[in-house]
Amino acid sequence: MTMVLKRGEDVADQVHRPVPLLNVDQLCIDIGARNASVRIVDKVSFTLGKGERVALVGESGSGKSVTAQALMRLNPRVRLSGRVDFDGADLLQLSAGQMAALRGSRIGMVFQDPMSSLDPLMTIGDQVAETLRIRGIGRQEARRRALEVLDELKVERAVERLESYPHEFSGGMRQRVVLAMALVGEPDLLIADEPTTALDVRVQERVLDLLDEISRRRGLAVLLITHDMGIVAGFADRVMVMYSGRIVEENEAAQLFREPQHPYTRGLLEAVPRADRTVDRLPSINGAPPLPSSRPKGCHFHPRCDRATGVCSAETPGETFTPLGGRVRCHLYGAG
């Protein structure tokens, strides 16, 4: 079930860009042997400021989750190139030990399936405290901090639930536990990969409200990965739209929802249920995203685009900075 798009126009029109915390520059992700490699993500660049909430959206297969995993260097099967600067350090150049020290402390991550992130044989308290224990914090102090973050996330009877197991929690409560595991180390950046997948619409809203409240209170930067445009409308400061391994549009959330530029962005937004309109049938985008190994020439979206022309199938569009303050990769706007 998709959350109804409630707002976009309520987000401030002008958001003061915060001090950069994460700067991704020309990130490429390849898989396979070097003489027969496939490029999954192609020259992706973006910034994320301290305390800023940015959403990376697109259909399944667009490259969102693999990009998130690349920032954390979680997938040893892929080759990464470009730069990923986090607070002055290039994450792609850090040793395995240095990278491990950042995970869970300065960078936290929430995965889309809470049950796959939780050990069914460990108590909730031990799992939330585990990150701290690995860093050498004593058991009593680690459990005290685990209890604090569970309380912050409004887990009922948190003291008692420390001794519970994952199967004793509802889906929404399990997601709060996974959030607690990511937040207990007090990171500066939280990467949330489809954190509301498989939750019903009311639980989705409660989880996002919690994430909104905590990120504001802590000054936490959040990169939200999702395929659902509806859930980002009231959460994100900025939105990046990814299609077939490339960012095709980026803008402040209010502006992007008000005047989307790329045909793909418009298609995604038109497919979202809205509280302010009634339609018999929601429009959809014909076809499906191409596999990374069989992408079309030119603009990757042109086979599905109702505004495509001859140049779209022949030439890769450059990036254009628009008068609306964003950037778009589309031949409709010329070369940038």
> What are the chain's domains?
1-106+189-202+221-298 (3.40.50.300)
Distance CA 155, CA 157 (A): 6
Distance CA 125, CA 118 (A): 11
Amino acid identity, position 153: L
Distance CA 293, CA 61 (A): 12
Contact status, residue 44 vs residue 241, Cβ threshold 8 Å: no
b/e code 117-135 from CB counts within 10 Å (16+ = b)? bbeeeebbbbbbbbbbeee
Distance CA 322, CA 334 (A): 10
Distance CA 230, CA 112 (A): 17
Q: Are strands 78-86 and 89-90 parallel, antiparallel or unpaired?
A: antiparallel
Q: Looking at the predicted structure, is the pLDDT value of residue 283 above 90? A: no
pTM of the entire predicted model: 0.89
Q: Looking at the predicted structure, is the pLDDT value of residue 9 above 50? A: no
Q: Which of 81-90, 91-100, 132-141, 267-276 has the lowest mean pLDDT?
A: 267-276
* pLDDT given at position 12: 37
* pLDDT given at position 15: 45
Q: Looking at the predicted structure, is the pLDDT value of residue 143 above 90? A: yes
Integer CA distances (angstroms), 319 to 40, 193, 327, in order = 19, 26, 7
Tell me the three state secondary structure of residue 217.
helix
Distance CA 203, CA 221 (A): 22
Tokens of 218: 């802590």
Average pLDDT over residues 181-206: 87
Output the CA torsion 231→234→236→238 (10° steps): 110
- Beta carbons within 8 Å of 62's beta carbon, 6+ residues apart: 227, 242, 243, 244, 245, 289
Q: Looking at the predicted structure, is the pLDDT value of residue 14 above 70? A: no
Confidence of residue 2 (pLDDT cuts 50, 70, 90): very low
Distance CA 240, CA 251 (A): 7
Q: Looking at the predicted structure, is the pLDDT value of residue 105 above 50? A: yes
Task: Quickly count helices (H) and strands (E) in the chain.
Answer: 12, 12
Tokens of 283: 């429009």
- Cross-sheet strand order for the sheet of 319-321: 107-110, 189-193, 221-226, 53-57, 238-243, 246-252, 327-329, 319-321
Contact status, residue 175 vs residue 154, Cβ threshold 8 Å: no
Integer CA distances (angstroms), 47 to 7, 15, 136, in order = 24, 14, 32
Q: Looking at the predicted structure, is the pLDDT value of residue 124 above 90? A: yes
